[in-house]
Structure 1
Amino acid sequence: MFTKEKEFFSILFEAVSEGVIVVNTQQNIVATNQSAENMFGYNKKELETAPLIQLIPKNYHHNHHTYVNGFMKKNESRQMGVGRDLFGIKKNGDIFPVEVGLNPFTVRGETFVMALVVDITLRKQHQDQIQELNAKLEQKVIERTKELSEAVNKLKEVNAELDDENKKRLKAENKAKEALKKEKELNELKTKFLSLVSHEFKTPLSGILTSAMLLSKYKLEEQQQRRDKHIKTITDKVHYLNNILNDFLSIEKLERGKIQYNPSQFKISKVVNEVIYNANMMLKDGQIINYPENIDNYSIYQDEKIVELALSNLVYNAIKYSSENTVIDIKIKQNLDSTTFIVEDNGIGIPEKDQKNIFKRYYRAENALLTQGTGIGLNIVKSHLENLKGNIYFNSKENQGTTFWFSLPNKYQTKL
């Protein structure tokens, strides 16, 4: 074979750096070059006429004929083993990775296949090294990621601990500030209380002492009217002081939560009549109280004394802070759930800057400082109403009058 073309093939094959192996349709080797011989460890004579399968490891023999026959039929150049690894076997039995390009050609009507074989052992080693390095790098990334995640978690724990400590510190600081604020308020209340007691007790006591001294001078029978006048003064002053003491006792009981409420079913008109009867004795010249309309059928299940206390406080304040010849309106509204008591006057009103503090204990509006009073009545009323699940509100404009109203459930409820 290749008698005339031998020299041509020899020059061509030897010029190629890849291993060249030519096989016929019977898959026998018909020609090789020096690179192929060196690659597989055979000399030229050992390879010529040898079956191609001699250069393929045994575990690949079963599919080899099928692949070659299929290639012969298609008769086109292509890369062999695309998508899978190919291996050759040397004369000494060493197996090594190869890359094979197949090129069919025809000479004098006979078909041959020229295989260009490249030993890719070094490339595979590099690939394996790269894969190993990538695997190591990936493992390091996993480890570093894990370490970073642990560090982040630890940092989160530390931050959480710091945050918790900060919250505790802020809480402690707020408690200290609150305690300091309460202590300051308490000191202010003590100062106001002492000032109040000094003023509110001193004035009535002076009146009582003066009236008692004057009584001793009116010994004649025709001076009885003057004696009665001073006796009334003493009685009024004593009642006033007694009311102040009762208010102080009420505050103490409210703070300690020792109030015992006594609910009962009663007519609204009964309380209104009692309040207006007592209020009539306090009216200034020309003052009028308008009786609420259509309340005969109103009744409520509540603590009667508290309702009377609340309504009388609002009515007495309306009288006290209104001038002569003014009208005080009492209105009462009732629905299925609650009853609302409304007291409206045309008095001095409450300055806007004082309105936010009007329910504070011992607080008195600027325009009421010269009028007798303790500044604790509304505070007591508000506390009682809230204990009974009620509320109290007001609208006021200085020098135009004030409207107070409070609401209570028709059926007794308490949060105590």
Structure 2
Amino acid sequence: MENSALLKAIIDNAIDGIITIDDSGTIETINPSGCALFEYEPGEVIGQNISMLMPTPFQTLQDESLNHFHGTITNDITGTDREAVGVRKSGDIFPFRLGFSEVQLLGRKIHIGFIHDLSREKQAEERLKEHLLHLEEQVEKRTKLLKETVSALEYAKEKVSKSLEKETELGQLKSRFVSMASHEFRTPLSSIQLSAILIEKYAGECIHPGIIKHIDKIKVSVSNLTGILNDFLSLDRLETGEFKTAPTRFDIVRFSEEVTEEMQLIAKQNQQIIYQHTGTSSMVSLDQAILKNAIVNLVSNAIKYSGENTFIEFNTEITPSLLSVTIKDNGIGIPEHDQKHLFEAFFRAHNTGTIPGTGLGLHIVTRYAKLMEGHLEFTSKVNQGASFTLSFPQKHE
């Protein structure tokens, strides 16, 4: 009795459905889980053919003979574990795993079916299939996009390569043109300059004031055009890497005094260039030619953008680690909104008006400074002049 009660308790509390049928397919018992699965009360299924729990295509079993049923159910299913489908009282069809066992009881065969609901597993499988399908679609789309991107990159690379080739060709043509133009223009400009000087010389003291005025215009125009050619030639040499520094040790004071004398000759009427040196030492190690080009450019700007009867300060200072060269004027100054572009090639401040220039000077000076491991800084206010300072590190020898 205890064993029977224990067995009944196990069957009644089993998670899976448990059902027993006889050889004819008649349901003899069904546990609570089985009733819950099929949505029937025990009395509604006990005594009925098992085909009532099957979908319509399988219900023909109830009309088949015992031998046929025995052959298809007991021989094929007994002792196996397979998937099947069932139909609930509501008509819903659901998947389950079916396991059948056969026992002998009181001289007859009893078939026991163990039913495990697979609805959740199948739903999970469907979601997984959908997810995999979605992933496959995404992979396909991404692969297609990647191929298109690679193709576009290859096309862009080809275009860039062609553009670089064209740019290189244009750069070479530009360099040849600038070099040719600079040299070809210098000869006639020198001739014009010399002719103007000779006209002034041979005319003597009786030369008409109007002639002197036009001769002066010729000299100024030639000087301006020569400066433009020098700027273009310098920029071309900088871009092609032709400038190579050759540092030497020299006296910065004597060097600066010579530059001051040269620049004073082209200063405007009553413009005075005042040179001053600060420091106990005057010896520095730099490329004299490049340094002179940079200083001449800055002093020329100071002369150009300052009026007559003004002073231009030219200062040098040597500390144990630094050489500073400062050019300060009291000219038109630089508008604040233009200052961030000041060192860009071909840029000119908006207040320069008709004052001639290429917009290359300061750009070239910054390149000169960089060649000698230095840098250029400035301060300026409109109508209060500008101050430019070149700084170069000094190495002890």
Normalising by structure 1, what TM-score? Answer: 0.55
Q: 1:81 aligns with which of 12, 24, 36?
A: 12
The number of aligned residues is 318
Equivalent residue, structure 2, for 1:157: 143
| Contact 2:318–2:324 (Cα < 8 Å) also in 1 | yes
Aligned residues with identical type, % of pairs: 25
**2:29 counterpart SS class:** strand
Deviation, 1:252, is 3.0
Q: CA deviation at 1:381?
A: 1.9
CA separation in 2, counterparts of 1:323 and 1:186? 41
Partner amino acid, structure 2, of 1:305: A
Instruction: Give the structure 1 partner of residue 29 of structure 2.
Output: 98
Q: 1:291 aligns to what SS in structure 2?
A: strand
| CA distance in 2 between partners of 1:187 and 1:353 (Å) | 35
The aligned residue for residue 108 of structure 2 is: none
CA contact (8 A) 1:289 1:328 kept: yes
Per-residue CA shift, 1:92-124, capped at 9, x if unaligned? Answer: 5989773358xxxxxxxxxxxxx9994694587
Question: Structure 2 matches for 1:46-57, cutoff 5 A?
Answer: none
Q: Relative to structure 1, is the Cα distance of residues 324 and 313 closer, same or farther in structure 2, using a 3 angstrom cutoff?
A: same
Change (3 A) 1:189 1:247: same
* Structure 2 residue 243 is matched with structure 1 residue 306: no
- In the alignment, which of 56, 59, 66 is matched to residue 3 of structure 2? 66
Letter matched to residue 5 of structure 2: V
Q: Is the 2:178–2:236 contact (alpha carbons within 8 Å) kept by the matching residues of 1?
A: no
Return the alpha-carbon distance in structure 1 between the equivalents of residues 274 and 47 of structure 2. Answer: 120
Contact 1:287 1:324 survives alignment (8 Å) = yes
Counterpart in 1 of 2:99?
none
Residue in structure 2 matching 1:146, options 116, 128, 132: 132
**Residues 1:265 and 1:100: Cα distance change in structure 2 (over 3 Å):** same
Q: Which residue of 1 aligns with 2:246?
A: 262
Opposite residue 66 of structure 1, the aligned amino acid is N
Can you give the 5+ residue segments of structure 1 that lack an aligned partner in the other structure? 1-26, 28-64, 72-77, 102-114, 224-228
Corresponding position of 2:196: 210
Structure 1 residues 179, 350: CA separation in 2 closer, same or farther (over 3 Å shift)?
Answer: farther
Within a 5 Å distance, the mapping from 1:262-301 to structure 2 comes to 262-297=246-281, 300-301=284-285
Partner amino acid, structure 1, of 2:30: E
Which moves more between the two structures, 186-195 or 356-365? 186-195
Where 2:306 maps in the other structure, the secondary structure is coil
The secondary structure found in structure 2 opposite 1:152 is helix
Deviation at 1:384, TM superposition (A): 2.0
The 3 A distance-change label for structure 1 pair 187 and 301 is: closer
TM-score, normalising length: structure 2: 0.57
**Aligned match of 2:105:** none
Given the superposition, is the C-alpha separation of residues 313 and 93 from structure 1 closer, same or farther in structure 2, using an over 3 Å criterion? Answer: same
Question: Which of 391, 400, 404 pairs up with 2:388?
Answer: 404
Do the aligned partners of 2:189 and 2:226 also contact (CA within 8 Å) in 1? no
What is the deviation of 1:195? 12
Aligned to 1:385: 369
CA offset at residue 286 of structure 1? 3.9
Q: Distance in 1 between matches of 2:350 and 2:177?
A: 17
1-side partners of 2:317 and 2:52: how far apart?
A: 101
Give the counterpart letter for 1:408 in structure 2: F
Deviation at 1:362, TM superposition (A): 5.7
1:113-171 CA distance string (max 9 Å, x none): xx999469458757941225846665444333322211111111222333455566677
State the Cα RMSD in Å.
5.5
SS in structure 2 of the partner of residue 131 of structure 1: strand
Look up the SS of the partner of 1:81 in the other structure.
Answer: helix
User: Mean alpha-carbon deviation: is it higher for 289-298 or for 198-207?
Assistant: 198-207
* Structure 2 unmatched ranges of 5 or more: 33-41, 56-82, 86-93, 97-117, 207-211
Separation in structure 2 between the aligned mates of residue 200 and residue 363 of structure 1, nearest angstrom: 25
Q: Which amino acid aligns with 2:131?
A: T
Which of 314, 332, 336 aligns to 1:330? It is: 314
Matched, 1:347 2:331: yes
1:38-67 Cα deviation digits (max 9, x unpaired): xxxxxxxxxxxxxxxxxxxxxxxxxxx524
Q: Distance between the aligned counterparts of 1:193 and 1:357, measured in 2? A: 27
Change (3 A) 1:81 1:359: closer
Aligned to 2:95: 131
Q: Which amino acid aligns with 2:248?
A: S
Q: Residue in 2 aligned with 1:51? A: none
Amino acid of the structure 2 residue aligned with 1:99: I
SS in 1 for 2:129: helix
Question: Are the equivalent residues in 2 in contact too, given 1:340–1:406 (CA < 8 A)?
Answer: yes
**Aligned partner of 2:3: which letter?**
T
CA contact (8 A) 1:329 1:344 kept: yes
Q: Is the partner of 2:245 in helix, strand or coil?
A: coil
Amino acid at match of 2:13: V
Aligned to 1:49: none
Q: Bigger shift: 139-148 or 364-373?
A: 364-373
Question: Which amino acid in the other structure matches residue 324 of structure 1?
Answer: E
Q: Is the 8 A contact 2:175 2:236 kept in 1?
A: no
What is the CA–CA distance in structure 1 between the aligned matches of 2:167 and 2:173, rounded to whole Å?
A: 10
Which residue type is aligned with residue 131 of structure 1?
P
CA spacing shift, 1:368–1:192, aligned 2, 3 Å = farther
Letter of the 1:98 counterpart: T
- CA 1:250–1:355 in structure 2 vs 1: closer, same or farther (change >3 Å)? same
CA distance in 2: counterparts of 1:69 and 1:361, whole angstroms: 100
